[in-house]
Amino acid sequence: MSEYWGLHCKTCDKSTDHDFNHGEEILRSLVRATPHIKAAYNADRSGFLEFHIMGHHHSDIIIFALEEHAGHDLEIESEYGYTEPIELEEKQEGAKE
């Protein structure tokens, strides 16, 4: 069964579109990578660096949401209203907690 996911900002109580089918892990990875993506974009002096993340609707809304809600309390949200937290540090397999 398909289940589309997007981001929800708990700080602002705003949600993106649910563009990513079974997209839980890609969305978590994008949130973790945002500081690195932003640093690469800001360091580009050529003007040729573009980032596109192609979800179901081929929308750039996720990039704008990551910029707008940087540093906010984000979670992933399914089209059915389920939410899951985003750990900012990816847990390593076999790591002790």
Q: Where are the domains of the chain?
A: 4-85
Q: How far apart are CA 15 and CA 75, in angstroms?
A: 10
C-alpha distances (whole Å) from 31 to each of 45, 62, 70, 88, 96 are 24, 10, 9, 8, 23
The phi, psi pair for 90, rounded to 5°, reads: -70, 130
Q: Taking the model in full, what pTM does it have?
A: 0.75
C-alpha dist (Å) from residue 17 to 1, 40, 41, 42, 58: 19, 25, 24, 26, 11
**Residue pLDDT tens, the chain, 97 long:** 899 999 999 999 999 888 888 989 989 988 888 888 888 878 877 777 777 676 666 566 677 788 888 889 999 999 999 999 998 776 556 655 5
Tokens representing 78?
Answer: 């399914």
